[in-house]
């Protein structure tokens, strides 16, 4: 490897930290710097040698960074940061507000075409690897139905919602796929299933001293959008127990496509993940797509791209002939 | 869809028949003709309207067929037919002799570059979808180990081997993954497993009248390469039972990648298939890659390609914006 791919990280939360550790597992990528909106001196990186700068200084690094990995959130960070950074850098991000992906793509595509950069958007596992499996299986087996299940895993959004309830000190919510729904899908019965039919919500809640637990439980279970339409289970536990048993960020899920070919032959394809660390997994995917962005850019590709547009070989540091020999 | 993609089938066995039925499930592809080495008049297609010609006449159809799907076997047909047809047509094939893929690729690549066509080789599920998952997961999670399990399913090669044993009238062999090996892999123990550690072989054998069953069983179990290194189970059954219960072509398998990120977080990715009809599944994949070959060719791509080189969006008839909206 003559020259390493130089990446930068924008935003140093769970995802940014995951990118920092994922880069260390690659032979061909180096982390140049982390960019933050906070005071750079206050950001402690895992590796103390990593340099930290303010995002406003990123413009000085356009010739020192090949790909910027944007690790902000989808609700407020990426809609602003995505176009800003794509004006100056090739970017990879994990924009995951499914309903707004088409609009985000158009915005990013226009910026990239004007700046002559490449921006791979919505990289991760959903959107990301799960999307790839949904798309691939539908294309191969058009006479079929696809199902996506999430969990068991922690949903940050639902955990936040619990913590906003009066009398709640702390809380974590797990999204859990329902076994009976999974069984119907795997049996090829093509059931009609809403997200609420497929998942139940299990909450571990730390109540403040003297709080009315029954009231808290009712308030959680009747919360619109988040819980009211779901089968919801609430457990009250101590702060110690929460810290001990529920501070990891596991997740998982599966995409199942059940289809028919010929004279009624059932064909089932299933892709599943089981993760000890959701952010570290997503970060590892971001790093592989940063490699792809770099290669595609050097081949003259510009514009916004998604996981549907990137040939798989671009994700590996290995030459194509080696991939064919070892893995095909 | 203004104009359908026109495909031809070379070789009308299980795979060719599967392609014929798979094309019927697509809105954008039409089957122009089947080409056979047999007497065309003797070949009965599922759809009697499909035209059948001798392979020697294929040369007359170069302006009527966009992509030729080669449905011959890997041991003797494809090494000859692949280069021959690629001189005249874009091709897709399922060349599956893993050890010879690099050599086959080089041959096909040289032909394609001279004929200015595109040839996508080794398409199917292994090589094919399984390879894609092996490659993708290794690229994303380099600190990990990948495992491939086959079955439960019928192995044609091993069934043929059984039928060559003296005193055997008929027989079918199932490759079955071993549960204990699967459990060790899923537990993330990174066990060292050979193919024989991962699979057992179950044989259903119809003996000729008066044949020495003990001798047959011993001969099967001690057969080098095929059975001697494996745990092998032999059942003797009647011809009727074989026809009734063992004439389908089910198969299955899984690719499991178990890896570690950060401070020892386990991450497990699994891709699995469960097929009622192995040839119909493979054929469906071939048809989707024929679509990709057509599009890539029209964009100016030439040469030999593999599943590693084809962006997933090329497999679908849906426009990119629709894919992003519906499936990303």
| pLDDT score at B196 | 87
Alpha carbon of residue A37 to chain centroid: 21
pTM of model > 0.80: yes
How far is it, in rounded angstroms, from Cα A54 to Cα A35?
5
Closest residue, chain A, to B312 (C-alpha): A308
How far is it, in rounded angstroms, from Cα B307 to Cα A76?
37
The CATH number for A203's domain is 3.30.360.10
How far is it, in rounded angstroms, from Cα A84 to Cα A59?
10
What is the complex's ipTM, to 2 decimals? 0.95
A324, A325, A326: best to mutate for the B interface, most B CBs within 10 A: A324
Q: Is the preceding omega at residue A151 within 30 degrees of 0, hence cis?
A: no
How far is it, in rounded angstroms, from Cα B287 to Cα B279?
12
How far is it, in rounded angstroms, from Cα A218 to Cα A220?
5
Judge: B135–A21 Cβ closer than 8 Å, yes or no.
no
3-state secondary structure of A193: coil
| B328 within domain boundaries | no
- Residue listed under structure tokens 């880069």: A23
- The token pair at B127 is 């090589």
CB interface of A with B, residues 38-77, below 8 Å: none
The full length of chain B comes to 328
Average pLDDT over chain A, rounded to an integer: 96
Give A281→chain B minimum CA distance, Å. Answer: 7
| A302 within domain boundaries | yes
**pLDDT band for position A205 (50/70/90)?**
very high
| pLDDT score at A133 | 98
Judge: A308–B323 Cβ closer than 8 Å, yes or no.
yes
Do β-strands B231-236 and A168-177 pair in parallel, antiparallel, or remain unpaired? unpaired
Residues A165 and A271 in one domain: yes
Judge: B308–A324 Cβ closer than 8 Å, yes or no.
yes
Residues A187 and A296 in one domain: no
Judge: B324–A101 Cβ closer than 8 Å, yes or no.
yes
Residues B142 and B269 in one domain: yes
Residues A253 and A302 in one domain: no
How far is it, in rounded angstroms, from Cα B316 to Cα B28?
10
How far is it, in rounded angstroms, from Cα B86 to Cα B113?
10
Q: How many C-beta atoms lie closer than 10 Å to residue B321's C-beta?
A: 11
Q: Is B18 near chain A, with CB under 8 Å?
A: yes
Judge: A102–B324 Cβ closer than 8 Å, yes or no.
yes
Residues A41 and A101 in one domain: yes
- Give the phi and the psi of residue A65 in degrees, each rounded to 5: -130, 130
Judge: B131–A277 Cβ closer than 8 Å, yes or no.
no
Residues A141 and A256 in one domain: yes
Which of B122, B272, B328 faces A328 most closely, judged by CB atoms?
B122
Judge: B265–A288 Cβ closer than 8 Å, yes or no.
no
| B327 within domain boundaries | no
Closest residue, chain A, to B320 (C-alpha): A308
Q: What is the pLDDT of residues A125-167, one digit of tens each?
A: 999 999 999 999 999 999 999 999 999 999 888 998 999 999 9
- HSE of A112, CA atoms in CB hemisphere, 13 A: 23
| A198 within domain boundaries | yes
Domain that holds residue B291: 5-126+279-321
Residues A153 and A213 in one domain: yes
| A251 within domain boundaries | yes
| A135 within domain boundaries | yes
Judge: A307–B328 Cβ closer than 8 Å, yes or no.
yes
Which of B134, B270, B311 faces A327 most closely, judged by CB atoms?
B134
The CATH number for B79's domain is 3.40.50.720
State in Å, rounded, how far the first CA of chain B is from the last one: 23
Residues A10 and A89 in one domain: yes
| A328 within domain boundaries | no
Residues B149 and B268 in one domain: yes
Residues A271 and A283 in one domain: no
CB interface of B with A, residues 105-164, below 8 Å: 105, 122, 127, 129, 131-136, 138-143
| B27 within domain boundaries | yes
**pLDDT band for position A196 (50/70/90)?**
confident
Rounded to 10°, the helix B101-115/B77-86 angle is 20
Q: Mean pLDDT per segment of 10 residues, for chain B of length 328 residues? A: 89 96 97 97 93 97 98 93 98 94 98 98 97 98 97 91 95 96 93 92 96 96 91 96 94 97 96 97 98 98 98 98 98
| pLDDT score at B2 | 63
Q: Write out the H or E segment, with its range, that includes residue A94.
A: none
Q: What is the pLDDT of residues B181-194, one digit of tens each?
A: 999 999 989 999 98
Residues B257 and B146 in one domain: yes
DSSP states of A97-127: -GGGHHHHHHHHHHHHHHHT-EEE-S-SBTT
- 3-state SS, one letter per residue, for chain B: CCCCEEEEEECCCHHHHHHHHHHHCCCCEEEEEEEECCCHHHCCCCCCCCEEEEHHHHHHHCCCCCEEEECCCCCCHHHHHHHHHHCCCEEEECCCCHHHHHHHHHHHHHHHHHHCCEEECCCCECCEHHHHHHHHHHHHCCCEEEEEEECCEECHHHHHHHHCCCCEEEEEEEEEECHHHHHHHHCCCCCCCCHHHHEEEEEEEEECCCCCHHHHHHHHHCCCCCCCCCEEEEEECCHHHHHHHCCCECEEEEEEEEEEECCCEEEEEEEEEEECEHHHHHHHHHHHHHHHHHHHHHCCCCEEECCCCCCHHHHCCCCHHHHHHHHC
Known binding residues of B for substrate are: 150, 175, 201, 251, 278
- Contacts by residues B215-221 (CB-CB < 8 Å, ≥ 24 positions apart): B215/B167, B216/B165, B216/B166, B216/B167, B216/B168, B219/B165, B219/B166, B220/B162, B220/B165
* Under 8 Å between Cβ of B171 and B163: yes
- Number of independent structural domains in chain B: 2
Q: What percent of chain A has pLDDT over 70?
A: 99
Residues A266 and A292 in one domain: no
Give B271→chain A minimum CA distance, Å. Answer: 4
């Amino acid at each position: 490897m003559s020259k390493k791919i130089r990446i930068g990280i924008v935003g140093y939360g769970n995802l940014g930290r995951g990118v920092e550790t994922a880069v260390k597992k690659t032979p061909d990528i180096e982390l140049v710097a982390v960019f933050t909106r906070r005071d750079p001196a206050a950001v402690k990186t895992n590796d103390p040698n990593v340099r930290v700068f303010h995002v406003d200084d990123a413009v000085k690094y356009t010739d020192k960074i090949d790909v910027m990995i944007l690790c902000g959130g989808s609700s407020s960070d990426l809609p602003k940061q995505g176009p800003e950074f794509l004006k100056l850098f090739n970017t990879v991000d994990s924009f995951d507000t499914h309903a707004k992906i088409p609009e985000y793509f158009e915005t990013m595509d226009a910026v990239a075409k004007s700046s002559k950069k490449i921006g791979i958007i919505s990289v991760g596992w959903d959107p990301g690897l799960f999307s790839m499996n949904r798309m691939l299986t539908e294309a191969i087996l058009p006479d079929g139905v696809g199902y996506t299940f999430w969990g068991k895993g922690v949903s940050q959004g639902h955990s936040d919602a619990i913590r906003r309830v009066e009398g709640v000190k702390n809380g974590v919510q797990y999204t859990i796929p329902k076994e009976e729904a999974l069984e119907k899908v795997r049996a090829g019965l093509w059931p009609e299933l809403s997200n609420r039919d497929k998942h139940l919500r299990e909450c571990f809640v730390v109540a403040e001293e003297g709080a009315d637990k029954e009231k808290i439980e009712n308030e959680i279970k009747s919360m619109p959008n988040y819980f009211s339409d779901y089968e919801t289970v609430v457990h009250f536990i101590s702060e110690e127990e929460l810290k001990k048993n529920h501070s990891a960020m596991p997740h998982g899920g599966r995409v199942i496509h059940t289809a028919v070919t010929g004279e009624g032959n059932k064909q089932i394809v299933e892709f599943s993940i089981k993760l000890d660390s959701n952010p570290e997994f997503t970060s590892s995917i971001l790093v592989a797509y940063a490699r792809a962005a770099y290669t595609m850019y050097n081949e003259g590709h510009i514009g916004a791209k998604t996981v549907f547009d990137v040939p798989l070989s671009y994700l590996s540091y290995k030459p194509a002939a080696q991939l064919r020999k070892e893995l095909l």
